[in-house]
Chain A
């Protein structure tokens, strides 16, 4: 498949069973299913506006169950932005993000310019193992953005992707093709309270 220059690739990483696919599916299709199916690798495409024209947002949903370093490296080197997902019900899943972050760091070199979002998913769950401040602390340490979401209740899902696009300073992207400035602004306003943008 020929590389399309105007593709914007977002890669979703995270341990097995934290809800990567659920997040992506909620965003792309607006649905949520209580299934439990491991992913091999899925890619979804959506047309968004970018610098007053259109481009394709490509979301790669990776596998969390087994690591194939080669595939992971490839995803990282090709990705423009990264979503690192853990589950607030599992401390271990946050731990597992650390080597992935290190790898992004190693491959991309300078992560300052790269949009990375740390996401605590399953915020609807009551059996919390990772407090919000723990996630924030981790995000601070990594100098990346942080957000808590719930694919089940559709909490912060669209916001997550929009905010990720906003993080990219080189491009001016919006989920809406017509590029309504106002809508984007207001959404960004709305988000201010919920996420800490570094």
Chain B
């Protein structure tokens, strides 16, 4: 047992602690007291509980891979086990993905987007699609905003020219004033052309704007770094300590690996859209279908569905679609992956599990599953969850109204027969004749799949022992992170006490809260972020429309991301984004004079009340925005400024930090720097 006292930890951590630690005493550090329990001097203690693997942070998961590999190697098997590498081309193709936004449509649509390509690529495509949709929406809103501000600007300008003539309404704007019609008719036109046209494409390929933590792990940020260094710089300025932390985390854990930055937050659940859609369709419509997955489908309709998914159409599966078609589509997706869900290089290892029995077998399989890349792991869990549900409806049963519900007859064994060959495929080439691959292997494949289906919940739960090993391994390389992780576990455990029901693969509440900003609006359904804004918080600002709330919500999320994980934060390139970011900080500092430390420490959630306190923060913030929109209308949303004709430039802080915002406004006013109010 390793006992670490606070001071020892503290000496090793002079600088690179996250911003949380400002103002905290050293006896807040956690140390191990044995029995999988960690405690602070203040008497807080965390006893590690088995948690679903999805709730572990990216860093923990990476370390878990190594721990699992170590355990597997200890078994001294006669074949090589290694952590499956993601396909090397990935980064390149990712870049191509980003580039393709600027290329013509045709080229983008030629390559299939769902079938027959690596899983990580599918998820990247899904995310790109999502981002495009978001960007479209955003750009539409942006255009409106811009138009509104231009209209307003013209009005103000006219007012400026006309003296104190009051602003009547937007209709008078287009009519043109009595004075200088040429100024009105000529000057605005270039504005629209210069502003609207170049802006929309920027929004479209603005990868930072709508970016959420989707299917990709954080390292995709490196693709963005060059282009968006400015905001990153700003962020680094604001949180240099955390950057250091991240660097040390990345450096420590990546021996022999590329220099990837690993997040301290859970990875977003990476399940391809097509698979998620199929699964939920079958869960809704297919559980009582006899022979689901076994009975054949219409090849034509399945091909149509496949093509739709491949060109990136947002296919909605509903009761119109035959469950057999959807089931066939799901099987086809799995079968056509270049590397099956359980990677080929682990094929012998998975088959080996047949020689083991009972708990040993489960533990062995568990270790193997922990080796999988997160996207495979998440997708497999989703699939196994579905299969387990399907097999629970296998037998005939009596419904609540005494009516007989026919079972689907697809027991776990039957499902294993059908899905085994889709999940496990031996490496291509070699001595295996197609027929010789044969019977011995296929029975082994089936029995492994059967075990996976029957025990999926247990297999995807990380035991306290393994978590302990992960922490122990982390403490040797990155002692600073331990506190952060444990603190989150502490807050998580408090939360789980309240909400005891924790659904299978879902993260616990504490964690999902932590990633709300990332997951909202992303690929798969998670809790909507609405609890951040309790309805009663809205009462105070009647003039604010929901649009403003959306903005505020987004601000909040942006801030959260920027503060808590600058690395994968999505630094927006767009002007509006920058403005929001800065103005938001101004507002925040108004609202909460001592915010910088308190708010960020809240984010880390060592306070069990954190989620509840977020609400008030959010509403306070929005209130500030609402009430100040008259006086400090730096957020130029349509609604917030309807009742105000005073218009304020960005605050001096913004000018201190050179930002496009200055240029933006200068473009309109045609003036240099300096804050002045145009009335």
Name the A residues within 8 Å of B434 (CB-CB).
70-71, 74
Interface residue B293 (Cβ < 8 Å from any Cβ of A):
yes
Q: Which residues on B sit within 8 Å (CB–CB) of A17?
A: 291, 294-295
Assess whether A41 is in contact with B439, with CB atoms less than 8 Å apart.
yes
Interface string of A35-62 (1 = CB under 8 A from B): 0111111000000000000000000000
A93→B296 contact, CB < 8 A: yes
Chain B contacts with A in 273-297, Cβ cutoff 8 A: 290-291, 293-297
Count chain A residues whose beta carbon lies closer than 8 angstroms to a beta carbon of B: 22
Q: Is the CB of A64 within 8 A of B296?
A: yes
One of B324, B331, B409, B417 near A40 (C-beta < 8 A)? B417
A157 and B301 alpha carbons, distance in the complex (Å):
34
Q: Which residues of A contact B136 (CB under 8 A)?
A: none
Q: Is the CB of A38 within 8 A of B331?
A: no
| Bound-complex Cα distance A58 to B299 (A) | 30
A16 nearest CB across to chain B (Å): 4
Given contacts A38-B414, A68-B421, contact A95 B298 (CB under 8 A): yes
Cα–Cα distance between A38 and B296 once the two chains are bound (Å): 12
Q: Residue B298 contacts which of A37, A41, A64, A92 (CB distance < 8 angstroms)?
A: A92
Measured between alpha carbons, how far is A38 from B449 in the docked complex, in Å? 15
Measured in the bound complex, the distance between the Cα atoms of B435 and A179 in whole Å is 34
Q: Is A16 a contact of B299 with CB atoms below 8 Å?
A: no
Contact between chains at A66 and B435 (CB < 8 Å): no
Q: Would you call A36 and B291 a contact (CB within 8 A)?
A: yes
Q: Which of A40, A65, A74, A96 has the most CB of B within 10 A?
A: A65
| Structural contact, B414 and A37, CB atoms closer than 8 A | yes
Q: Is there contact, CB below 8 Å, between A65 and B409?
A: no
Cα A95 to Cα B299 with chains together (Å): 9
Determine chain A's interface SS by DSSP, over half rule: loop
B278 to chain A, nearest CB (A): 15
Judging by beta carbons under 8 Å apart, are A38 and B435 in contact? Answer: no
CB <8 Å contact, B418 and A65: yes
- Chain B residues with CB under 8 A of A74: 434-435
Task: Give, as a whole number of angstroms, the nearest-CB distance from B619 to chain A.
Answer: 54
A16 near B295 with CB under 8 A, answer yes
| Inter-subunit contact A16/B439 (CB<8 Å) | no
Contacting pair A38 B417 (CB below 8 A) = yes
A15 at the interface (CB under 8 A from B): yes
Q: Which of B412-441 contact A (CB under 8 A)?
A: 413-414, 417-418, 421-422, 434-435, 439
CA distance A18 to B402 in the complex (A): 30
Closest B residue to A71 by beta carbon equals B434
Q: Please give the distance in Å from B440's CB to the nearest CB on chain A.
A: 11
Q: Is the CB of B413 within 8 A of A40?
A: no
Least distance between B324 CB and chain A CB atoms (Å):
8
Q: A37-B417, A66-B335, A66-B418 are in contact. Are A15 and B435 (CB under 8 A)?
A: no
In the complex, A17→B292 CA distance in Å?
10
Once the chains bind, are A36 and B409 in contact (CB under 8 Å)?
yes
- In the bound complex, residues from chain A placing their C-beta under 8 Å from that of B417 are 37-40, 65
B345 to chain A, nearest CB (A): 21
Assuming A66-B331, A66-B421, is B295 touching A37 (CB within 8 A)? no
Check A2 for interface membership: any CB of B closer than 8 A.
no
Of B296, B414, B421, B422, the contact of A36 (CB 8 Å cutoff): B414
Chain A residue, CB-CB nearest to B298: A92
Is A99 an interface residue when CB atoms closer than 8 A count as contact? Answer: yes
Sample of 18 more A-B contacts, CB < 8 Å, known A93-B296, A95-B299, A96-B299: A16-B294, A17-B291, A17-B294, A17-B295, A37-B413, A38-B418, A39-B417, A40-B421, A64-B296, A65-B293, A66-B422, A71-B435, A74-B434, A92-B295, A92-B297, A92-B298, A96-B296, A99-B299
A-B contact pairs, 15 of them (CB 8 A): A16-B294, A16-B295, A36-B290, A37-B414, A40-B443, A41-B439, A41-B442, A64-B294, A65-B296, A66-B421, A68-B421, A71-B434, A74-B435, A92-B297, A99-B299
